[in-house]
Structure 1
Amino acid sequence: MKTKYSDKENFSNFWKEEIADSFFFQIHRIKRAIFRRTNALMNDAGITLQLEQLPLLMILQHKSLSQRELSDKTMRDKSSILRSITALEKKNLVEVVKDKLDKRKNIVSLTNEGITLAKNIRTLMKKAEDEVMSVFTPNERLEALHAVRSYADKLEAL
């Protein structure tokens, strides 16, 4: 029969070998820190959106897209995109219209309110990133950005 001490020791070894030294886990911790700060700033500003809705607003800020294109760009399934679009539409942040050339396609665009909100969120995201990254020297920040961008580029090429 194992004692509590050996269970703790086993968990400690598991944590060290399987989780703490995991690249995925460390990336997740970075993402969580940035999202936590962004969520706090958004709550302070009275913005009540779900995290999965944010990329849609940011993407649509530059160009109207079909639901399929949004699904491809965000790497989310169609039903998930549809739920987010429906929620954003109810908040009058996006509008959906049939494509003039292909009636099977729905084109999603930001409303004026959506454009304003997207700009505000972009400002909050930048502020959150600056706050989180303030623990690094300017050189460390550049090195981290270069390394993470390089990793992302290589992984996307798989």
Structure 2
Amino acid sequence: MEKTQTNKENFSNFWKEEISDSFFFQIHRIKRAIFRRTNALMTDAGITLQLEQLPLLMILNQKSLSQRELSDKTMRDKSSILRSINALEKKNLVEVVKDKTDKRKNIVSLTNEGVNLAKSIRSLMKRAEEEVMSVFTPKERIEALNAVRFYADKLETL
């Protein structure tokens, strides 16, 4: 019994000293709260997509891109992008065609069904963000957004 208590105390101390003070961990907690609410809303709406497929739909909702450009924009490897594209293609959400000027490239575009789904997801994401951020006052929301934007902009220069 005493050993179990010591293990709990050691973990508690580790938590306090190491993990809870980690910037990465705190950012992860924020992301997890937003994703948890977004996933719940998507499930309620009957949307069955993998989380890694969402950015592709949102990016392609702006314009058609090559698989390589999608890989660059999402910072994911080509094989991962290809798996996501294949899954989205099977669901009739994207179509892939050869580039007219460079036959080595495949251009990925949203289908009409994909455009409609991207709009629905964007709406759900906004709703999830509103629900998650409702714990903050309007002033705290602005301060949080400005702080996160400042850090993101600074980190992108690395």
TM-score in terms of structure 1 length: 0.97
Corresponding residue for 1:149? 149
| Cα distance in 1, alignment partners of residues 42 and 115 from structure 2 | 16
Please, which moves more after superposition, 51-60 or 7-16? 7-16
SS class of match (1:3): helix
SS class of match (1:5): helix
Structure 1 alignment gaps of length 5 or more: none
| Cα distance in 1, alignment partners of residues 71 and 28 from structure 2 | 22
Corresponding residue for 2:129? 129
Corresponding residue for 2:19? 19
Corresponding residue for 1:140? 140
SS class of match (1:100): coil
**Cα displacement string for residues 55-104 of structure 1 (whole angstroms, at most 9, x for unaligned residues):** 00000001100000000000000000000000000000000000000000
Runs in 1 of length 4+ with deviation above 3 angstroms?
none
Corresponding residue for 1:52? 52
| Cα distance in 2, alignment partners of residues 41 and 5 from structure 1 | 40
Please, which moves more after superposition, 16-25 or 105-114? 16-25
| Cα distance in 2, alignment partners of residues 114 and 8 from structure 1 | 49
| Cα distance in 1, alignment partners of residues 112 and 5 from structure 2 | 60
Note the aligned Cα RMSD (angstroms). 0.9
| Cα distance in 2, alignment partners of residues 6 and 121 from structure 1 | 47
| Cα distance in 1, alignment partners of residues 53 and 154 from structure 2 | 26
Structure 1 residues 26-45: aligned runs within 5 Å: 26-45=26-45
For residue 3 of structure 1, report the CA deviation from its aligned partner: 2.5
| Cα distance in 2, alignment partners of residues 5 and 62 from structure 1 | 55
TM-score in terms of structure 2 length: 0.97
Aligned length: 157
| Cα distance in 1, alignment partners of residues 139 and 105 from structure 2 | 46
Corresponding residue for 1:119? 119
